[in-house]
């Protein structure tokens, strides 16, 4: 294929990126258009192949293009609207009355009164030092509360010294990729279905990304090979919804121990298991080789931007250095408030209440689809804030999402979470936790109608 670009200015890579951005945002390169290979474009333009590869990497990180193993680089299906940080699909979904997209809890149930009470107690007791430049790892009150909570609720082996409070999992994953890269790591292995943002972050930090197939037992580790680290969602694979089987957990730890490699355990919804006691964290089996990552985004609200890493001792120092450069430390008042919320028991009460609500919602979703759309199939364990709903045979994700949008319901297809060639049948990732309580019944009714 031929691609006409006008390069200008002395800095070729920046010029190339800018020319490609203009061509995409101006519509000359439409969604899904394949781009030439970096080798071919470099030859065409008479510039170094690395320059093209780096420009492509930057555009992947910015969301303009996607890189799919085996099928090259393409213009992204949904390019972020310039300066808004919201894709056109997101903008359309904002107008939707009902929303079953995954990723968020029911923020209308955020415990505002309990939060404000905790904030008052916390701020009135806070030492002056808490309001000044402070320990980049976070407030000792919060790290102590988290150490106790994570040991009790998730079986994590930790200490106040090894916890790093982060500004959300987005920052946590950026810090980890950045530190891996400057320690000389080349490749991060991730699950072939997962959060696209993790992929983009790894590429932006200069890491190569290798995807691991996921089957009914979770990620298949034999593909990890010589990657420096692997990011897993062992408790509840996102978005496929399976737990990592016991044999695979052992295999992951053996892989890490044998090569001095790292496992990043993304325990994004480990608090929510409905059918039985959740499996404890993988981290407890190899605390020197596993980084445990937790977040308040599913238990409280994504808008808080509070997450935490439990670090192997050798990683504390480089992560603290990266955090210091990135933003010095996370805001103190929210940290103190969350510490007070955990210490007072209000956090546990909120999690238990949410668990009951989401469990009932999942049951109602399963029952509604079984009754009114029996050809749709719900899979994954009874856990978390989302379910995988495989479409009735013959239906495509695009048509189902479009039909739902006409009925005022926003949905997400599985394809947008896939990093490789689609291996799974067309499906929806249904975030049943997201709607406020009054809208849940209407949302599920519309979903069932679309899938009937």
Positions in 303-332 near a copy of itself (CB under 8 A) = 303-306, 316-318, 320-321, 323-332
Q: Within 10 Å of residue 431's Cβ, how many Cβ atoms?
A: 24
- Is residue 418 a contact point for a copy of itself (CB under 8 A)? no
User: Measured between alpha carbons, how far is residue 123 from residues 120, 165, 414 in Å?
Assistant: 5, 18, 43
Are 451 and 391 in contact by the 8 Å Cβ rule? The answer is yes
Task: Report in angstroms how near the CB of residue 190 gets to a copy of itself at its nearest.
Answer: 16
Answer for which of 62, 77, 217, 288 binds a copy of itself (CB under 8 A) is 62
Residues 105 to 164 in contact with a copy of itself, rule: CB under 8 A = 107-108, 110, 112, 115-116, 119-120, 123-124, 128, 130-137, 161
Binding-site string for a copy of itself from residue 329 to residue 368, where x marks contact by CB under 8 A and - marks none: xxxxxx----------------------------------
Task: Report in angstroms how near the CB of residue 276 gets to a copy of itself at its nearest.
Answer: 30
Residues 192 to 221 in contact with a copy of itself, rule: CB under 8 A = 197, 200-201, 204
Task: Report in angstroms how near the CB of residue 378 gets to a copy of itself at its nearest.
Answer: 25
Answer for which of 24, 42, 103, 278 binds a copy of itself (CB under 8 A) is 103
Helix axes 196-204, 168-182, angle to 10 degrees: 40
CA separation for the pair 68, 71 (Å, rounded): 5
CA separation for the pair 11, 35 (Å, rounded): 21
H-helix segments, 345-387:
346-372
- Is residue 13 a contact point for a copy of itself (CB under 8 A)? yes
Instruction: State the pairing for strand pair 208-212/214-215.
Output: unpaired
Task: Report in angstroms how near the CB of residue 208 gets to a copy of itself at its nearest.
Answer: 14
Q: Of 172 and 414, which has the nearer Cβ to a copy of itself?
A: 172
Answer for which of 3, 5, 7, 14 binds a copy of itself (CB under 8 A) is 14
Which residues sit opposite 263 in a β-bridge? 230, 290
Q: Of 107 and 246, which has the nearer Cβ to a copy of itself?
A: 107
Segments of 297-339 assigned E as strands: 307-310
Answer for which of 47, 68, 80, 415 binds a copy of itself (CB under 8 A) is 80
Counting residues that bind a copy of itself (by CB under 8 A) gives 75
Residues 6+ away with beta carbon under 8 Å from 29: 20, 23, 35, 75
Long-range contacts, stretch 376-379, CB < 8 angstroms, 24+ apart: 376/451, 379/240, 379/241, 379/242
User: Measured between alpha carbons, how far is residue 10 from residues 7, 13, 14, 196, 446 in Å?
Assistant: 9, 9, 9, 33, 55
Answer for which of 102, 140, 168, 270 binds a copy of itself (CB under 8 A) is 168
- Is residue 95 a contact point for a copy of itself (CB under 8 A)? no
Q: Which helix (H) or strand (E) holds 178?
A: helix 168-182
- Is residue 92 a contact point for a copy of itself (CB under 8 A)? no
Answer for which of 38, 167, 237, 354 binds a copy of itself (CB under 8 A) is 167
Answer for which of 92, 182, 250, 425 binds a copy of itself (CB under 8 A) is 182
Q: What is the DSSP letter of 383?
A: B
Task: Report in angstroms how near the CB of residue 382 gets to a copy of itself at its nearest.
Answer: 25
Answer for which of 38, 58, 233, 295 binds a copy of itself (CB under 8 A) is 58
């Amino acid at each position: 294929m031929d691609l006409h670009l006008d390069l200008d200015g002395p800095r070729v890579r920046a010029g190339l990126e800018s020319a490609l951005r203009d061509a995409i945002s101006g519509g000359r390169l439409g969604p899904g258009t394949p781009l030439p290979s970096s080798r071919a474009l470099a030859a065409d333009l008479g510039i170094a192949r690395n320059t093209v590869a780096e420009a492509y990497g930057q555009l992947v990180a910015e969301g303009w293009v996607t890189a799919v193993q085996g099928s090259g680089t393409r213009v992204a299906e949904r390019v972020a609207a310039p300066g808004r940080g919201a894709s056109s699909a997101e903008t359309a979904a904002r107008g939707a009355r009902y929303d079953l997209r995954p990723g968020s809890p029911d923020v209308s149930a955020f415990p505002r009164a309990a939060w404000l009470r905790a904030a008052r107690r916390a701020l009135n007791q806070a030492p002056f030092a808490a309001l000044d430049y402070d320990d980049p790892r976070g407030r000792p009150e919060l790290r102590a509360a988290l150490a106790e909570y994570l040991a009790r609720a998730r079986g994590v082996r930790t200490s106040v010294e090894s916890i790093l409070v982060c500004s959300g999992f987005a920052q946590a994953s950026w810090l980890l990729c950045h530190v891996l890269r400057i320690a000389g790591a080349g490749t991060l292995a991730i699950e072939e279905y997962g959060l696209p943002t993790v992929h983009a972050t790894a590429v932006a930090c200069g890491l190569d990304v290798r995807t691991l197939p996921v089957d009914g037992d979770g990620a298949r580790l034999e593909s990890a090979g010589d990657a420096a680290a692997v990011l897993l969602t062992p408790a509840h694979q996102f978005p496929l919804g399976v737990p990592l089987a016991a044999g695979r957990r052992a295999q992951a730890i053996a892989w890490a121990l044998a090569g001095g490699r790292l496992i990043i355990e993304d325990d994004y919804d480990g608090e929510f298991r409905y059918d039985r006691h959740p499996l404890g964290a993988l981290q407890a089996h190899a605390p020197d080789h596993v980084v445990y990552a937790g977040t308040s985004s599913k238990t409280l609200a994504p808008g808080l931007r509070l997450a935490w890493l439990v670090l192997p001792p050798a990683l504390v120092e480089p992560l603290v250095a990266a955090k210091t450069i990135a933003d010095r430390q996370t805001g103190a008042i929210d940290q103190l408030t969350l510490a007070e919320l955990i210490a007072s028991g209000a956090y546990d009460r909120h999690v238990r209440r949410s668990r009951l609500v989401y469990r009932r919602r999942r049951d109602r979703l399963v029952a509604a689809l079984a009754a009114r759309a029996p050809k749709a199939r719900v899979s994954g364990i009874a856990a978390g804030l989302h379910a995988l709903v495989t479409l009735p045979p013959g239906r495509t994700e695009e048509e189902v999402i479009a039909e739902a949008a006409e009925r005022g319901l926003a949905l997400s297809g599985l394809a947008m979470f896939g990093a490789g060639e689609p291996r799974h049948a067309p499906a929806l990732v249904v975030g049943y936790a997201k709607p406020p309580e009054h809208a849940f019944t209407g949302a599920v009714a519309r979903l069932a109608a679309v899938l009937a």
